[in-house]
Amino acid sequence: MPKRALITGVTGQDGSYLAELLLGEGYEVSGMVRRTSNVNYERVEHIADKIRFVPGDLLDEGSIVAALRDVQPHEVYNLAAQSFVTTSWNQPMFTGEATALGVTRVLEAVRQVDPSIRYYQASSSEMFGKVREVPQDETTPFYPRSPYGVAKVYGHWITINYRESYDLYACSGILFNHESPRRGLEFVTRKVTSSVARIKAGLDRELRLGNLDAKRDWGFAGDYVRAMWLMLQQDVPDDFVVATGETHSVRELCEIAFGRAGLDWTAYVVVDERFLRPAEVDLLVGSPAKAAEKLGWTPTVAFAELVEMMVDADIERLRR
């Protein structure tokens, strides 16, 4: 009997990589999708015939219960969220509904439909915000700096609370930034690599960015979804930081990305105040020691390799 998994957020970056991984592990994979006026399954187009899509929305408890009753999963990966930090200041209520309360809705559905379902919660390094220690690990106190970060702290603690209250197998993965050629265009890595491709092709002449000094621990999304899966294969549920242990600035990102295309980034990048945030997270760097020790997880793609992979993919995409 193959195992069944339900992924919320299957149309997103991580959902697409996780679906590939689970199909490769022999799972029957279902993906919860919300109604939108334009159907956009681009990231899962290549595996769409192998995934069962079920309707549902994080804002609608009944639809999540119905999806669980329908799929009868052994594992639920809750990846759906309003995930763009900037948008969380423009839409703080919606971000709270989806990214915070949405977690309770999924956990409640699991508890009611089948409490033996194993649950993964997509928590975030944004919870560390104004960091209390360097590097950040599973015991580092949280100090979120955006409505998104605050919502993720709620999601993290409600996951732990449901584990402790109802004995659910529920894990929270505190994942640091992870990127890929499938990353949304608004996030800084993809904004830079897609712009490099357009500038190289003569379609654009400049790239406007915000804070070039911000530092992030950037890894490859394909590596990070394996950590999610490993968390649900253990004897006891636990929470894990998933990171590379290295940190780099937006400036370094620009240097490598433009350099890959034979361009000098200083000739094209313009700092634009419109992209500064009301409160910034200056520095993130995680310790993946617990994930390495207990899950046997290590990242396989280094920062420069990741950026170059994304630039190459964006150049190839434009060429096609």
Q: Which residues bind ligand NAP (CB under 6 A)?
A: 8-9, 11-15, 34, 36, 40, 57-59, 79-83, 98, 122, 124, 175, 177-178, 184
180 makes contact with ligand F7E (CB under 6 A): no
| Closest CB 220 distance from ligand NAP, rounded Å | 11
Taking CB within 5 to 8 Å according to partner kind, which of ligand NAP, ligand F7E, none is near residue 159?
A: none
Task: Please say which residue, 40 or 72, places its beta carbon nearer to ligand NAP.
Answer: 40
Among 188, 225, 301, 310, binds ligand F7E (CB under 6 A): 188
Nearer to ligand NAP, 13 or 287 (CB): 13
To the query of whether residue 126 is one of the catalytic residues in this protein, the response is: yes
313 Cα distance to chain centroid: 19
| Other Cβ atoms within 10 Å of 24 Cβ, number | 8
How near is the Cβ of 146 to ligand NAP at its closest, in Å? 12
Active-site residue (options: 148, 154, 162, 169): 148
Closest residue to bound ligand NAP by CB: 12
The 48-87 contact track toward ligand F7E, x by CB under 6 A, reads -----------------------------------x-x--
138 is catalytic: no
**Smallest Cα–Cα separation from 222: which of 27, 39, 20, 59?**
20
Q: Report the run of H or E that residue 14 belongs to, with start and end.
A: helix 13-24
Q: C-alpha distances in angstroms, 317 versus 13, 16, 147, 259? A: 17, 18, 34, 19
Q: Considering 16, 63, 124, 172, which one is annotated as catalytic? A: 124
Burial of 87 (C-beta count, 10 Å sphere; 0-12/13-18/19+): middle
Q: Which is nearer to ligand NAP, 71 or 261 (CB)?
A: 71
Number of residues that bind ligand F7E (CB under 6 A): 21
Place of tokens 């500038």: 199
Q: Which does 223 bind (CB under 5 to 8 A by kind): ligand NAP, ligand F7E, none?
A: none
Footprint of ligand F7E on residues 106-145 (CB under 6 A)?
Answer: 124-126
> Bridge partners of 75?
5, 118
CB-neighbour burial class of residue 93 (10 A; exposed 0-12, middle 13-18, buried 19+): exposed
Which C-beta is closer to ligand F7E: that of 119 or that of 224? 224
Task: List the structure tokens of 23.
Answer: 């199909």
Whole-number Å distance between alpha carbons of 149 and 100: 10
In DSSP terms, which residues pair with 136 in a beta bridge? 286
Residue 80 touches which member of ligand NAP, ligand F7E, none, C-beta under 5-8 Å by kind: ligand NAP
Q: Is 301 in the site for ligand F7E (CB under 6 A)?
A: no
148 carries an active-site annotation: yes
Cis-peptide, bond into residue 135, ω within 30° of zero: yes
* Other beta carbons within 10 Å of 160: 16
Name the DSSP class of 177: P
Catalogue the active-site residues.
124, 126, 148
